[in-house]
Structure 1
Amino acid sequence: MKFILLAFSILILFSCATSVKENVEDYSKITLTMDTVVVDSGDDIINLKYGIWTNTLSEDNKFLYLWNTGERTMDKINLEALRLEKKIPFEREGPNGVGDYVSWMSFLHENEVLLAGFGTLLNFDMEGKKIRDLDLGKVTFGKVNLEAGDGFDRNPIPIEKGDVIYGYLGNGINGTWTFVKANFKENRLTKIELPGINELPDYKILLEGDNINSSASPERVLKKAGDRIIISSSAYSTLYVLNLNNDSVYQANYTPKLSPKQKKGGYPEKVESVERFREVMAEIDAEINFQAPVWDEQNRKFYRFSFETLPTDIYKGPLFISAHQRPISKVYLSILDENLNLLGETLLDIKQVPNTVFVRDGQIWSYVNVKDELGFVRMSIKYE
Structure 2
Amino acid sequence: MKNILFVIFILFIFSCENTVKEEVKDYSKITLTMDTVMVDSGDEIINLKYKLYTSTMSEDNKFLYLWNNGETTLDKINLEELRLEKKIQFESEGPNGVGRYVGWLSFLNENEILLSGFPSLMLFDMEGNKTREYPIIEKTDFKEVNYFERNPILLENGEVIYGYLGNRFNNTMTFVKSDFKEKKLTKIELPGISELPDYRILLETENMGSLAIPEKFVKKVGDRLIISSTAYSTFYVLDLKNDSVFQVSYTPKLTPKEKKGGYPEKVESLERFRELMAEIDTEINFQSPVWDEQNRKFYRFSFEALPSEINEGPVFLSADQRPISKVYLSVFNESFNLLGETLLDGLKNVPNTVFVRDGQIWSYVNVDDELGFVRMTINYE
TM-score, normalised relative to structure 2:
0.91
Q: Quick check: 1:75 aligned with 2:75?
A: yes
- Conserved 8 A contact 1:173-1:213: no
Q: Deviations over 1:90-137 (max 9, x none)?
A: 00101111111111101101111011110111100001011011242x
Picking from 118, 137, 140, the partner of 2:138 is: 140
Partner of 2:375: 378
Among candidates 329, 336, 339, match of residue 333 of structure 1: 329
1:15 alignment partner in structure 2: none
Q: Which residue of 1 aligns with 2:360?
A: 363
Q: Deviation at 1:211?
A: 2.5
Alignment correspondent of 2:15: none
Matches within 5 A, 1:235-274: 235-274=231-270
Report what 1:178 is aligned to. 174
Match for residue 208 of structure 1 among 204, 207, 223: 204
Q: What amino acid does structure 1 have at the position aligned with 2:228?
A: S
Q: Of residues 349, 353, 363 in structure 2, which corresponds to 1:352?
A: 349
Paired amino acid for 2:350:
V
The equivalent of 1:197 in structure 2 is: 193
Q: What is the CA distance between 1:379 and its match in structure 2? A: 0.5
Do the aligned partners of 1:174 and 1:215 also contact (CA within 8 Å) in 2? no
Change (3 A) 1:94 1:146: farther
Q: Distance in 2 between matches of 1:157 and 1:146?
A: 23
The verdict on how the C-alpha distance between 1:180 and 1:315 changes in structure 2, with shifts beyond 3 A counting, is farther
Structure 1: runs of 5 or more not aligned? 1-19
Contact 1:308 1:331 in 2 (8 A): yes
Give the SS at the match of 2:32: strand
- Matched positions, count: 361
> Contact conserved, 2:142 with 2:172, CA < 8 A, in 1?
no
TM-score (normalised: structure 1): 0.91
On the 8 A contact 2:199/2:214 being kept in 1, the answer is yes
Q: Which runs of 4+ in 1 moved over 4 A?
A: 143-146
Distance 2:372 2:214 in 1: 28
Letter in structure 2 aligned against 1:311: P
Aligned pair 1:217/2:209, yes or no? no
Deviation at 1:24, TM superposition (A): 5.2
Q: Confirm whether residue 314 of structure 1 aligns to residue 305 of structure 2.
A: no
Task: Report the CA distance shift for 1:179/1:145 in structure 2 as closer, same or farther (over 3 A).
Answer: closer
Q: Structure 1 vs Structure 2: percent identity of aligned residues?
A: 73
Amino acid at match of 2:256: P
Counterpart of 2:77, as a letter, is I
Partner Cα distance (2:79, 2:131) in 1: 27
Q: Secondary structure of 1:29's partner?
A: coil
Aligned to 1:95: 95
C-alpha offsets along residues 234-288 of structure 1, whole Å, 9 cap, x if unaligned? 1110111111111111110111111111111111111111111111111111100
1:119 and 1:233 map into 2 onto residues whose CA distance is 23
Runs of at least 5 residues in structure 2 that lack an aligned partner in the other structure = 1-19
Write the distance in 1 (CA, Å) between the matches of 2:101 and 2:262.
35
Q: In the aligned structure 1, how far is the partner of 2:268 from the partner of 2:115?
A: 35
1:288 maps to 284
**Which one-letter code corresponds to 2:35 in the other structure?**
D
In the alignment, structure 1 residue 343 sits paired with structure 2 residue 360: no
1:161-176 correspondence to structure 2 within 5 Å:
161-176=157-172
What SS does the aligned partner of 1:329 have?
A: strand
Note if contact 1:39-1:374 (Cα within 8 Å) is conserved in structure 2. yes
Aligned partners of 2:129, 2:143: CA distance in 1, in Å? 27
1:144 CA displacement: 5.3
Structure number with bigger Rg = 2
Q: CA deviation at 1:68?
A: 1.1
Matched position secondary structure for 1:140? coil
Q: Cα distance, 1:174 vs. partner?
A: 4.0
- Greater helix content: 2
- d(CA) in 2 for partners of 1:220, 1:262: 14
SS at match of 2:173: strand
Matches within 5 A, 1:110-129: 110-129=110-129
Say if 1:285 and 1:323, in contact at 8 Å, map to a contact too: yes
Q: Which residue of 2 aligns with 1:154?
A: 150
Give SS of 1:93's match.
coil
**Partner deviation per Cα, 1:208-257 (whole Å, 9 max, x = no partner):** 21122221111110111111111111111011111111111111011111
